[in-house]
Amino acid sequence: MANSKPQRPYEQENYPTSPEIIYYGDRKFNYTIIQEGVYLPAAKLYYSEAPNYFPIPDNYIIQTTWGRASNRRTIQCSIHYVEGIPHYLISFGDNFQYQVVSAKSPFDASVELHRVSFCQKLYFYIRKKLIIKYIILLEDNIR
């Protein structure tokens, strides 16, 4: 049996010629840069946390896609400075009509997205069960 090390995550990209980036790690994600954003003057600019300390641009927008076939999902992630503080916005739904936002971190916005997504799935599951019960009641009353 060969002793193989797990492959390190990497990105396949040809930016800025192509706005598409493919990330390979434990899962595959496709990113499309919609808008690069702008960097504020140094005195107003926020940075990501250690160890990288990347500058955080304003009006930065990407779309991220993952999953296969019927499980395929796309979200739009953006960063907008509001009163000097970066806000991390995740838009989702067929036309990105739903949104979650965090002024704390992109991670917090993603946690909120998962919370909202779970609640939506639970709502539709319960609604479906109630509709089925209602149809059964109607059928019983018709007989």
pLDDT score for 89 = 94
pLDDT score for 112 = 87
Gap between the Cα atoms of 31 and 11, Å rounded: 10
pLDDT score for 86 = 95
Which residue bears the tokens 């193989």? 4
pLDDT score for 50 = 79
CATH number, domain with residue 29: 3.30.160
**Structural domain harbouring 78:** 10-142
**pTM, 2 dp:** 0.74
pLDDT score for 39 = 95
> For every residue of the chain, which 3-state class applies, written as one string?
CCCCCCCCCEEEECCCCCCEEEEECCCEEEEEEEECCECCCCCCCCECCCCCCCECCECEEEEEEECCHHHCEEEEEEEEEECCEEEEEEEECCCCCEEEEECCCHHHHHHHHHHHHHHHHHHHHHHHHHHHHHHHHHHHHHC
In a domain, 1, yes or no: no
Question: For residue 4, what are its two tokens?
Answer: 């193989």
**pLDDT digit of tens for each residue in the chain (143 aa)?**
556 666 788 889 888 899 999 989 888 888 999 999 999 999 999 998 878 889 999 999 999 988 887 778 899 999 999 999 999 999 988 899 988 999 999 999 988 888 887 666 655 556 666 666 666 666 666 65
Count: domains in the chain: 1
pLDDT score for 139 = 60
In a domain, 4, yes or no: no
Question: For residue 16, what are its two tokens?
Answer: 């800025």
pLDDT score for 80 = 95
In a domain, 105, yes or no: yes
In a domain, 107, yes or no: yes
In a domain, 62, yes or no: yes
